[in-house]
Amino acid sequence: MDPTLDILHSALNGLMTRQQVIANNVANASTPGFTASQVNFESALSAAIADGQTPGLDTAVVTPTSDPANQDGNNVDLGDQTMSLADTELRYQAVIGAVNAKFQVLRTAIEG
């Protein structure tokens, strides 16, 4: 497969995982003792690219946040989650745009 498409595919998977984790954080915003999670896939993706390797499809690492908890032990900050979701959506749309552009190049090459 094309290395560019592999990288874009891995990025989309990481962003999808981040969206799922954010949704879970928001869904548990009122759950006493709940610890929010965060997702990092960019480090593994960057390392694979730097090493000239094809990134894996599941490079996302989910870890608990270290944000301070409120009185009920929950540390979900809805403001932060909303901003993170908006940022993730923008990144997702940018990667989708790159995928579409890549397919357009391939389509042009095939059609001549």
**Residue-level pLDDT at 58:** 85
Task: Sketch the domain layout of the chain as residue ranges.
Answer: 3-111
**Residue-level pLDDT at 53:** 87
Residue range 21-75, pLDDT digits in tens = 999 999 999 999 999 999 999 999 999 999 988 888 888 999 999 999 999 999 9
**Residue-level pLDDT at 91:** 97
pTM: 0.89
With a pLDDT cut of 90, the percent of the chain lying above it is: 86
Cα of 36 vs its chain's centroid, Å: 16
List the one residue out of 24, 40, 112, 39 whose CA is nearest residue 76: 24
